[in-house]
Chains A and B, each alone.
Chain A
Amino acid sequence: MLQAASAGCKGYSVLANKVGNVANGQEMGVGPDFAGLMLAVRDKADRAAYGVVFSHFGPRVKAFLMKSGSDAALAEELAQDVMVTVWHKSAQFDPARASLSTWIFTIARNRRVDYFRRARRPEPEDLDWGASEEPDAADIYQTAEETRRLGAALSTLPEPQRALIERADFGDLSHSEIAAQTGLPLGTIKSRIRLALERLRQNMN
């Protein structure tokens, strides 16, 4: 399966050879192609590409963990673990199924569950995706595009609503912990979260 997959990703190998240019985001004003960089990590153990992925996502993973209530030192350690796991589990990266940011989010989330809850996280049975399935460039684009559109929709939310989604729903802070942080009463927090999700749905339609 791996061989078939890499054969289907020639375009990305070419891109990965230009890591230097692409990484600077200078090409035609577009940001780096993270799916392509990660495929270079997956298929060629490309450390330069890994460095670019690390520099972009490391500080984001750390920020995500700090929003979940970790202090800076702990968040740095856990972000290290997450980014090393990105390397070790690179064979599981499939850009047609999840964008790179989504895939790294799931690794960061699992590390958080593992560390803070010391509980197992039951995962669904793997689908049999078929041995000769080659990732389709259109699928890869579509998947990255969905995450980008979600991000754009999120950024249109007023700051307090966005912050609540980030901290309450994805940050694993209880509503009362947020009440303590923000000084807002619990009822206000809950209704703002509902409002934010409502708005997000409208934006996505």
Chain B
Amino acid sequence: MTIKHHLNDDLLMAYAAGTLSEAFSLAVATHISLCDDCRAALAAYEAMGGAILDGGDDLAPMSDDALARAMARLDMPAPIAAPKMPKHAVLPAPLQHYVGTDLSAIKWRKLGMGVRQAILPTKGKGGSARLLHIPAGQAVPDHGHRGMELTLVLKGAFRDESQHFARGDIEIATEADEHTPVAMSDEDCICLAVTDAPLRFNALIPRLMQPIFRI
């Protein structure tokens, strides 16, 4: 599998630093699960964090009994680690924490024109995440958006203007782009879409639907 469309430096850096919102972090973690190039780039940005931690003369002395207090906690039971998720053909591990492993159990809601969505329960400000299910050959209703929008292909493929996106590819669209992903005609397409702000559709009917379906 060759991935052609990658994360950019801003996203990798913010994710490495831990300053990215949960919804955007989900898209980054899902892409990295499928992309070794970006996994390596993330390791480099984390090394920058390590250099900052270790470098310089910035020390904040701890209290005199700090080590003794830590030592006293070592024998307490360790917090239980999250269970290891099974390999899945469509859903990488970070998504499984939100929707499980059964595609048919996902609670899809109709968006019209055969397109369905499932909003994922990410917390905090800074974007919302959803899965989109687009029937083969069908366009996602034409929309503009505020801020940044990430669209990551999990199954099938879509094209947008002149570019082609397959599993693992991530499209990074900004406010200036009026983009219209169209699912390729041979297979339904499932994507993870993360937006900074609620999508606003250009067509009238979807615009009426927007507040109801929270897209």
Q: Do A and B come from the same complex? A: yes
Chain A neighbourhood of B32, CB < 8 A: 124
The verdict on B67 contacting chain A, using a C-beta distance below 8 Å, is yes
Inter-subunit contact A124/B39 (CB<8 Å): yes
Give the nearest-CB partner of B9 in chain A.
A197
B34-58: CB near A (< 8 Å → 1, else 0) gives 0000010011101111111111101
Inter-subunit contact A147/B50 (CB<8 Å): yes
Chain B neighbourhood of A27, CB < 8 A: none
Q: For window 78-116 of chain A, which residues contact chain B by CB distance below 8 Å?
A: 79-80, 83-84, 87-89, 97-106, 108-110, 112-113
Inter-subunit contact A150/B48 (CB<8 Å): yes
Bound-state Cα–Cα, A53 to B24, Å: 34
Q: For window 44-88 of chain B, which residues contact chain A by CB distance below 8 Å?
A: 44, 46-56, 58-63, 66-67, 69-71, 73-74, 78-79, 84-85
Number of A-B contacts (CB under 8 A): 178
Chain B neighbourhood of A110, CB < 8 A: 18
Chain A neighbourhood of B43, CB < 8 A: 97-98, 102
Bound-state Cα–Cα, A166 to B56, Å: 11
Chain A neighbourhood of B30, CB < 8 A: 122, 124
The verdict on A58 contacting chain B, using a C-beta distance below 8 Å, is yes
Give the nearest-CB partner of B50 in chain A.
A102
Size band of the A side of the interface? 35 or more
Inter-subunit contact B22/A117 (CB<8 Å): yes
Bound-state Cα–Cα, A151 to B97, Å: 35
The verdict on A198 contacting chain B, using a C-beta distance below 8 Å, is no
Residue from B46, B62, B73, B78 in contact with A102 in the complex, judged by beta carbons closer than 8 Å? B46
Task: Given A109-B49, A169-B13, check contact A58 B84 (CB 8 Å).
Answer: no
Chain B neighbourhood of A66, CB < 8 A: 60
Size band of the B side of the interface? 35 or more
Task: Given A101-B50, A109-B17, check contact A63 B59 (CB 8 Å).
Answer: yes
Chain A neighbourhood of B79, CB < 8 A: 88
Chain B neighbourhood of A80, CB < 8 A: 66, 69-70, 73
Residue from B50, B85, B122 in contact with A99 in the complex, judged by beta carbons closer than 8 Å? B50
Q: Which residues of B contact A (CB under 8 A)?
A: 13-14, 16-19, 21-22, 25-26, 28-30, 32-33, 39, 42-44, 46-56, 58-63, 66-67, 69-71, 73-74, 78-79, 84-85, 92-94, 97, 122-124
Given contact pairs A59-B60, A98-B47, A105-B49, a sample of 12 additional A-B residue pairs in the complex whose CB atoms are under 8 Å apart: A63-B59, A63-B60, A76-B62, A119-B123, A121-B18, A124-B32, A124-B93, A125-B85, A147-B50, A150-B50, A154-B51, A166-B56
Q: Which residues of A contact B (CB under 8 A)?
A: 47, 50-51, 54-55, 57-64, 66-67, 72, 75-76, 79-80, 83-84, 87-89, 97-106, 108-110, 112-113, 117-127, 146-148, 150-151, 153-155, 162, 165-166, 169-170, 172
Between-chain CB contacts (< 8 Å), 29 pairs:
A51-B67, A51-B71, A58-B67, A58-B70, A60-B59, A63-B59, A63-B60, A67-B58, A80-B70, A84-B74, A89-B78, A101-B53, A102-B46, A106-B46, A106-B49, A109-B17, A113-B18, A117-B22, A119-B124, A122-B22, A122-B94, A124-B30, A125-B92, A127-B39, A154-B48, A155-B55, A155-B56, A169-B13, A172-B18
